[in-house]
Amino acid sequence: MLRMGTRFPLLLLLLASVPASRSRGWSGAPRPAGEARPGGAPREPEPGPAGGCCGGGSRRLKIGIICALGALVMVSNGAVIAVVASAVAGWSRSSRLTLLSLAAADAALALLVVPLNLYGGLAPAPPPPEPYCRAAAFVNSSVFGASLYSLAGVSLERYVAVFFPLRHARLLGRRRLALLLAAAWLGPALLLLPVALPGRAAVLRVRFSAAALLCEPDYASNAAYAGLLAAAIFCPAAATVTFANLRLWQAARAQRRRGDGAGPPGKGAGLRRLRLLQLDAASRVLVPVVVAFYVCWGPCMATILYNAITKDRVHEWLEFVALWLPSGSGFLNCFVYFWTNRNFRHKFQKIGHKLCGPCSRVKWEQDVHRMVTISAAVERRSSQPALLPDRSCSGSSTSTLLPREAQTSL
């Protein structure tokens, strides 16, 4: 009995000396952030008081960048829609409608994507709830897909107009054009419909990226579906944009080479030189179209595929820039597709003159009133005999009697 009594306190001392980490593992208490689970899958770090893995300063900077980007995209594409909604000289109906669809898809980036994700990022206790994040991820992906398909539709319409001019009206008639635009908007939404399914019917999970302040599908939870989306949305759009614009660039360069060797300079040399300048300008624009497409969309798709395959995350700022670059393409498209076009700029100036018509009319009336006052001063001065050197006074001698301000106004 004495021997058992002496061993019992020793056993209690041994249990008290067990490390706290091992006892915590046995008791099932929560593990520290970043510690591996028993299954081997690393756990994502818990969001801190600033609402994510980034600090408060970088978070505010990112929110400011997103707000500025949304404002630029909305203002530029709003002006484009206001101009393209009416007829533009030199633009066919199919060209105008496909470009209008592209501008509407880019404007949706500012109207839907930016507010939905800013609300999730500014929530008092991020991340936002799962139903809201799932709906926001579905809207984000659908709008991005519509923008991709609209870019492909613009390139396809230009290709048909240049290489099949006689059959352009039949190949892109009203019905086929309506089907093309409907496919550009509804196709991505139908392909991404599994993202919106909640609960047990969900095909993949959604997550709020604290680095990018963006609700997005967690493609790492279903790599096969991520590959299917890339093959069905991005790859056809990229192939269409690349093939159509490079073929148009080759045609413009070949036409210019034929024009350079077209006979000696004669009566039509000026017209031929003007046409060559137009072809050269077209060839200079088509290559930036392809470059801008891959600069804006390539990093985003590479980041998505990297996260899906490796089940790892890239650097915080790299993920932010890569996932928001497609929204920046909505601002860049205004310059690549619209402001470089002379007919569009001319129509924009006409609309600006109409909007500023009342202001210009008031200024014109003020100028007329000022001219009438100066004319009255001229008549009063010319009626005084002391100011006239003789009776046969010419207009030039009268103007020498006026002040310098009156002569300038006249």
pLDDT tens profile 102-146: 999 999 999 999 998 888 777 666 677 888 889 999 999 999 999
Phi and psi at residue 189, in whole multiples of 5°?
A: -65, -40
Cα dihedral 22, 27, 28, 34 sign: negative
Q: Which position has the token pair 């200024």? A: 363
CA distance 207 to 177: 37
Number of neighbouring beta carbons within 10 Å of residue 101 = 24
Instruction: Please give the distance of CA 27 from its chain centroid, rounded to a whole number.
Output: 52
The pLDDT-based confidence of 178 (bands split at 50, 70, 90) is: very high
Mean pLDDT score of the chain? 74
pLDDT, tens digit, for every residue of 140-166? 999 999 999 999 999 999 899 888 988
- Cα-Cα-Cα-Cα dihedral sign, residues 100, 101, 103, 107: positive
**What is the model's pTM?**
0.70
Highest mean pLDDT of the ranges 155-159, 338-342, 362-366: 155-159
E strand or H helix that includes residue 304: helix 269-310
395/29 Cα distance (integer angstroms): 104
Q: Which residue has the tokens 């613009």?
A: 154
Is 233:193 a contact under the CB 8 Å cutoff? Answer: no
Residue 42 DSSP symbol: B
Confidence band for 280, pLDDT divided at 50, 70 and 90: low
- The CA distance from 65 to 70, in Å, is 9
Our measurement of the distance from residue 346's CA atom to the centroid of its chain's CA atoms, rounded to an integer in Å, reads 23
Ranking 37-51, 91-105, 269-283, 324-338 by mean pLDDT, the lowest is 37-51
- Which helix (H) or strand (E) segment holds residue 104: the answer is helix 93-108
